[in-house]
Each structure stands twice: as structure tokens, then as C-alpha cells.
Chains A and B, each alone.
Chain A
Amino acid sequence: MSEPVLSVRGLSVDYALAEPVHAVREVDLELRRGEIVGLAGESGCGKSTLAYAVNRLLRPPAEVVAGTVTFHDRTVGDIDLLRLRGEELRRFRWRRMAMVFQGAMNALNPVLTVRAQFEDLLRAHRPELGTVARRQRAGELLELVAVDPRRLRSYPHELSGGMRQRVMIAMALALNPDVVVLDEPTTALDVVVQREILREITALREQFGFAVLFITHDLSLLLEISDRIAVMYAGRVVEEGSAGRLFDHPMHPYSVGLLNSFPSLTGPRRELHGIPGRPPDLAGEQDRCAFEPRCPYARPVCGEVRPPLVAHPAAPGGTDGRAACHAHEPRVYGEATPTALLDGEFGPVAAAEVVP
């Protein structure tokens, strides 16, 4: 097990509106060197806000209201990312940690060639390189992501979606960072192109040893490529653990529901359900389980006390990671953990959508 490269502790982010929206609440996340950590969750769960906070890209009204983000640099030691300012922040950015954004295909400047965009990056962060060296480096980076270096003179609209995504990944790797954050890097790409991009990322990770924070709603994809996975719901991490354990023994009902939302391509046909209902309003701050209204395993305590994110040694695989669910603590829950939950079943609560 390698040493940590990025530690997030107790991070909370609010959108400071008339009634503050608690987009991220008390999140702990650790990324070790060379590790792939998947961050799973659906729209509104806070995963993108978390990624932006870690990369110091939040804009008002979003603001960090609690917690720390620490980068463990091999040479200079621990760097408090939330405190970096001005020149220090500029020098840190992209060099140690880089990000590929959601809809990255649209993040490229449409009026500049691919080469010009690399130039921009390299001039800012590698000022010592001359013109020829820059072009060479840009060409190398494209080859790294299996794009023909002749495409340096193309404009973004002349490239396919998959190629634009690869260009964004190449740009993220340009300075050989220790951490690469990918926010939905393959959404909106076809499954075959998606497969290529994933192979590229894992191959590059093998080659360069950077850690990856892979953010997506596609849990089935994360299960395939991640070392560890954290599942977010309503601004909090509700479960985390190794990908193998999460697949074999998911503990939180939301994780179970999410896993059941992906029909198996080749497995036996069976009755399938998603998770009816919708996530809660993030404005209120209540001491209860946010998933309770949609949970088939909910009991009275779930609506009264927020379950802590802890290990559950009594549950199968329960020491591998943590889950925020009362059902795995029979004394608090009021009865034994339901067998159906341990078997990975998710029988939906409501057939109809009650609109408030």
C-alpha cells in the first residue's frame, strides 16, 4: 500500500444563497500514489463541487466552509491547498494536480489549433522550453494518447468527440502531475470510444504512476477500473471501500440500488428496478439519513439520527472501508440486518412518483 498523495478531511462546501445549499458535507477522501479512486454518484450529489473545491476552482457563491485539502509533496512536504494564493497557486496548478472537465470536448478553444492550446499551456508552465522544444513536447503528448501528431494543426471542430477528449487528457498530463482528476471523462462518448479512453488512462497510469480521481455516475465502469470507490449521496460519502468489496458486498442501500440499476449484458434476465424518488433538497440541515425516504430498509431511527460513516466489522467485508447506514448496527437499528440487504437486493419503495 503506497503513501497518500492527497488527503481531504471534513470538507464542506456551501452555495451561499439566500438559503445556503450544503452541496458537500464533511467529506473525507484519501488518494494514495498511483491509485485509482472512483467517486460515484448522480446529479446533485456534490461530486463535481468536491472536485472543483479540491482544485481551487470554486466560484462564488460556492465556498469552502470547513475542512482541509492537503497535498503530500515528496520534496517539500505537506501543502495546504486551500491556503495557496497567487504565484504559489499558479505554480502548483497543473504541475502537481491536473483536471479533465466534464464535457471536456467543449472545453477546447474553438478558434485555436490544438498546437496553439498546447503552446498556451507550455509557455505558462514550462517557460524554459523554446519553440521547437514546445512543438516536440506537444507532439509527444498527442502520441501518448494515440492521436496522430499531425493533428496539431487541426481545430477542435475537425476532431471527433473521442479525439477531443484525448487531447484534453494529453493536456492534463503535460506536466507529469501526481494527481489527475477526471470529471465524467467518457460521458457522451460511445461505448467503444469510451473503452479506448479507459485503456489509455490505465496504460498511462501504469507508465507514469500518477493517482487518478475518477468521477462518474457510471458505477459499473468504476467497478472495472478503480482500486477503491466512494459513493456520494446528497453531499456526503455514504459508502467507501475497495472496488471488489463494493461489488461483492455493498453495504449501503443506495449502493445496492445503484448496482441494481445496471442490467447485466450477459447474465440471466431478471426483474430490474432503479431507485424511485429523487434526492433531497440540500438546503435544510437535518440530523437524519438523507436516503431514508427512498430506502426499502428504513426504520424509525433512520429518520431521527444521521448514521455515521464507520466500519461495520460484523458485516461481510465490513472492515474494508465504511458505510453510513444504521442497518448494519442491529442495536441501533432495532433488529438484525435484513437478509435482503446482505443479498444485494433493492425492492423499490414507491411505484408512483408523488409530486410535492
Chain B
Amino acid sequence: MTVHVLTATDLVKDFPLRDGRAARTLRAVDAVSLELRPGETVALVGESGSGKSTVARMLAQLVAPTAGTIALAGQPLPRRTGHHSRALRQYREQVQIVFQDPFASLNPFHTVDHHLRRPLRIHRHAADRAEGTEQVHHLLERVGLVPPARVAGKRPHELSGGQRQRVAIARALAPRPRVLLADEPVSMLDVSIRLEILNLIDRLMIEDDLAVLYITHDLATARHFSARIMVLYRGQIVESGPSDEVILRPAHPYTQALANAAPDPRARRHAAPRPDPPPPVRPGPADGSGCLYRNRCPHRMPICDTPPPTVAVATPDHRARCWLHHG
């Protein structure tokens, strides 16, 4: 029996908008549910503006959900937890986040040592200074930054983007969390460095039995590093399932468009022309009356003006929110 470590149920996030003098609401996240299990990576894939970072921020308790619940090891969290409450600190010990920008997420004024020692101190993982030092060095070795004594004395500007991101990962590991939320952890790094960082996260997941949420717009790395993929479109999960299933046999037209749009060097060899991309999206009000993708969908039918159900495709754990697959 797998114990779900982190469960989100029907998370909703609305943002108020001002459109001239009218007040509208933008539903950035629309009833998103997900489960993270130990020793497994789940990928949340979507374009920018899809709501994926908002999901991450809600799971990290940086943003309060408008509706829905988050439960850690079966224990639901009160939606309003004070900034310095014990409940929040205990949550943060268990659920850590690595951000996209390795330049912005570290304090330029402080050394690497300071960055790593702080969570150890807050969560009381080190009895004294010596033990703290030992743990800081151990963390640096785990993320592949050596020699630890020298790295600990560095400040962020003395490190490369990839090295900074390793520090950010080490910092996230310091309180020995059970859940790691990785929000586009390699998008801002050079291409040749990305795989090493993703390999590192993968290895740490196995070593520490972490439940990892990998948020990205890159389908290829989502497929390679995660067991399951969830595809987010305008705040809604439109498809979910085992990675290979979703990537190789995409059921939702949006997933198909994403898969077709990805650069494929082998494509230059094929005589068949690539299918047309969908027409550009015109951002509009969240239209609760039907499928949000219908204006771009090549398979649009009249019934698409009513919200589609989420149904199983091929296998019970591969699901898509689309009328095409309904009965």
C-alpha cells in the first residue's frame, strides 16, 4: 500500500482583475487535485500562464488557496496558518521548494554556509555549531559541490548558475523534507547543465525516498524524469497518467499539440509535413460554460460548449478531460 505524502484536492485560486472599471476574476487554478508518493516524481506540465507555478506556491503555502484542501500524510491543513505558527514551521520542514531562478532565490549578501545553516537552525537539526558545520559539509557533498569547506565560504555571485541551483537544492534538503517541489528548476540554466541537475534531483529522490513534483514546460525531460505526468491548460488538468502513456499516446488535443510542437531533429528527415499548430490563443475570461481549449481544438464538436468530463482512456490510470473519449 502506497502512502500518499502530499494530497491536494480541488485546489482553486482566483485573482481579482481590474478591466477598466469592471472587476473580474481570473481563475488561475481550477479544481486541481494531485497526489505525491514517496520515491516518485510527478511532472506538472504546462505553458507559461497555465497556473503551474501558482499550484506550486499553494503547495508550498506561499499563497493561500481560494478553495480546496491540502493534506500532509493524511492530515489536512487549516487554510489559514499564521506566518510564524508552529504548524507552518512543521509543514515547511516536510515540504520544501526549489525555485526557477538560481540568481534570485539566494541572498547575495550571505555565504553558502549561512544559507544552509539557517534551515538547520530553524528546524533544530543541529545541536551545536560543530554539528551544524558537519551537516552543511555533508549537504554540499550530497549535491556534488566540493570541497565543501571552500564552497561554504562562497557567496552566490562567486558561483555559476548550476552551482547556485545545487546550493538551492541543498538548502531544500537541509530540514530533511519528505516532499520536494521543483518549480522549473533548470529552465534558466544552460542546456548542457540541465541534465546533471535533473539527474541530481532524481538521485536524491531515490536516496531519501522523496515525493517530488517536477514543474516544467519541457515535455521531454518531464517524460524522462517522472513516473506520472499531469498536463495543465489554463488552470485545469486536461490529461494525466503514466509518463510514457501521456507522451507517446496523448489523448487530449492540447497534449498532442505540445508533443507536435517540440523540436525534433529527426523530423527533418520525414517527408510528411508537420501538422499545423493550433491558432494563437486569445486570453479571455475563464469560460465556465465549456471546454477551455475548444477555440484552438481541431476536433471541436458542438458538445464542447458544455464542460467535458474527465474520463479514462485506454487504461484506468490514464485520464483525459475531453468529449472525444467519452462513451
Contacts and interface: CB of A to CB of B under 8 A. Distances in A.
Given A192-B277, A261-B191, A274 B264 contact: no
B145 A217 contact: no
A160 interface: yes
Contacts of A354: 146-147
A275 B303 CA distance: 50
A355 B151 CA distance: 7
Interface in A15-30: none
Determine which residue in A218, A243, A275 has the highest number of CB atoms from chain B within 10 A of its CB, and name it: A275
Contacts of B217: 190-191
A193 interface: yes
A192 B221 contact: no
Contacts of A272: 195, 199, 224
B191 A274 contact: yes
Contact of A192 (B47, B150, B268): B47
Contacts of A196: 277, 280
Contacts of A274: 191-196
Contacts of A266: 247-248, 259, 264
Interface range on chain B (Cβ under 8 Å from partner): 35 or more
B162 interface: yes
A193 B296 CA distance: 13
A4 interface: no
B68 interface: no
B278 A192 contact: yes
A144 B221 CA distance: 34
B144 interface: yes
B191 A269 contact: no
B154 interface: yes
B219 interface: yes
B327 interface: no
Interface residues of A, number: 46
A196 B221 CA distance: 22
Interface stretch (A220-228, A306-314, A328-336): A220-228
B302 interface: no
B16 interface: no
A275 B199 contact: no
Given A274-B195, A355-B151, A195 B144 contact: no
Given A191-B261, A224-B263, A266-B247, 17 more contacts: A191-B217, A191-B218, A192-B278, A195-B260, A220-B264, A221-B263, A223-B263, A223-B265, A223-B268, A224-B264, A243-B268, A263-B195, A265-B220, A265-B262, A273-B195, A355-B146, A355-B150
Interface of A: 42-43, 146, 160, 162-163, 190-196, 199, 217-221, 223-225, 243-244, 247, 257-258, 261-266, 269, 272-276, 278, 348, 351-355
20 contacts: A190-B217, A191-B217, A191-B262, A192-B47, A192-B257, A193-B280, A220-B264, A223-B263, A223-B268, A243-B268, A261-B191, A261-B194, A265-B262, A269-B224, A273-B195, A352-B145, A353-B145, A353-B162, A354-B146, A355-B163
